[in-house]
Structure 1
Amino acid sequence: MVLPRLEHVGIVVGDLEAAKAFFAELGLEVEGEGDGEGVMTVSGRAVDRIVGLAGVRSEMVMMRTPDGHGKLELIRYRTPSGPAGDPEAPANAPGLRHILFEVADIEGVLERLRPHGAELVGEVVRYEDSFKLCYLRGPEGIIVELAERIG
């Protein structure tokens, strides 16, 4: 069977507005209407059954890359409460560890994201003659890799 496409990646966050602002500054666009800010409330028995939890009430925002091919679903669970994550988890910890975005000006993007709490994990590195790369931590400790094509 051929997989038609990757629809989206879901990221659970505690501060939905901060995460939305961070990814908007990176260049992602809110998709859908929701409450006028793109926030949709999700709850009900079907949602409980899908996620395997009882009494789910969550808010989510779908954000897409400008080319329309990549999407992030940012989710804040109001109920039930979940365990705290580790916002300082290193890049080699098991689990989904980072997402990569190609950018045109890596230094410029870093400067725009710093007011949103972005901090470099390591440093900006020229990788061979193909890319400048870096890891940074965004909201909730999410590791975002930036790649600027060079050469």
Structure 2
Amino acid sequence: MLFRYVHTNIIAKDARLLIDFYKKVLHCKSISESRDLSGEWLDQLTSLNGAHIRGEHLLLPGYEDAHPTLEIFSYDEMKQSVSAEINRPGIAHIAFEVDDVETTLAEILKAGGSTVGELVTAEYPNNRTAVFIYAQDPEGNIIELQSWMQTPER
């Protein structure tokens, strides 16, 4: 029986801009899976008349070329956006583990992103420490950055 996680989808105001952001700043990779989709089947799937979407699947960092991917699409007709909030019901954020949270955050800010909260360090059991921050991509989608390290026993 096949059962596996395949992708997460972000609907972007400007798919090309967001695709470039995730490739440059968060090390996602193109895998030649661009999409330009329309037709009766898409209308049936989405319950929209005349649906037309364009975008690309990006390989998430740390995975082989098969999957999972981050799918970034734009529809020709878009609803007004609702601002992302960390405690809004639904998918709250996507997370990336990085070597250096502060350096990656600086890259996000330089590329047009922003922060949600403050940079924090948290102690975990088994002498592990994590550094976290919530940031936003240029369209306001929330990204968690995290870095884990083993701390010396006291």
Q: Is TM (by shorter chain) over 0.5? A: yes
Is the CA contact (8 Å cut-off) linking 1:18 and 1:116 kept in structure 2?
no
Q: Summarize the alignment of residues 92-131 of structure 1 with structure 2, pairs less than 5 Å apart.
A: 92-128=87-123, 129-131=128-130
Structure 1 match to 2:71: 73
Q: Summarize the alignment of residues 4-43 of structure 1 with structure 2, pairs less than 5 Å apart.
A: 4-24=3-23, 25-32=25-32, 39-43=34-38
Structure 2 match to 1:36: none
The separation in 1 between residues aligned to 2:140 and 2:69, in whole angstroms, is 19
Deviation of the 1:139 alpha carbon: 2.5
2:59 aligned with 1:61: no
Instruction: Determine helix, strand or coil for the equivalent of 2:139.
Output: helix
2:82 aligned with 1:86: yes
The separation in 2 between residues aligned to 1:7 and 1:41, in whole angstroms, is 19
Is the CA contact (8 Å cut-off) linking 1:21 and 1:116 kept in structure 2?
no
The separation in 1 between residues aligned to 2:72 and 2:2, in whole angstroms, is 23
Structure 1 match to 2:141: 142
RMSD after superposition: 1.7
Instruction: Determine helix, strand or coil for the equivalent of 1:62.
Output: strand
Question: Which 5+ residue runs of structure 2 have no aligned equivalent?
Answer: none
The separation in 1 between residues aligned to 2:79 and 2:139, in whole angstroms, is 13
| TM-superposition CA deviations, 1:14-58 (whole Å, max 9, x none) | 11122112111211011215xxxxx42111111111122110111
Question: Which 5+ residue runs of structure 1 have no aligned equivalent?
Answer: 34-38
The separation in 2 between residues aligned to 1:141 and 1:3, in whole angstroms, is 34
Deviation of the 1:120 alpha carbon: 1.3
Is the CA contact (8 Å cut-off) linking 1:86 and 1:141 kept in structure 2?
no
Identity %: 30
**How many residue pairs were aligned?**
142
- One-letter amino acid matched to 2:71: E
Per the normalisation by structure 2, the TM-score is 0.84
Instruction: Determine helix, strand or coil for the equivalent of 2:132.
Output: strand
The separation in 2 between residues aligned to 1:40 and 1:90, in whole angstroms, is 29
Is the CA contact (8 Å cut-off) linking 1:125 and 1:134 kept in structure 2?
yes
The separation in 2 between residues aligned to 1:111 and 1:4, in whole angstroms, is 37
Which aligned runs of 4 or more in structure 1 are off by greater than 6 angstroms? none
Instruction: Determine helix, strand or coil for the equivalent of 1:150.
Output: strand
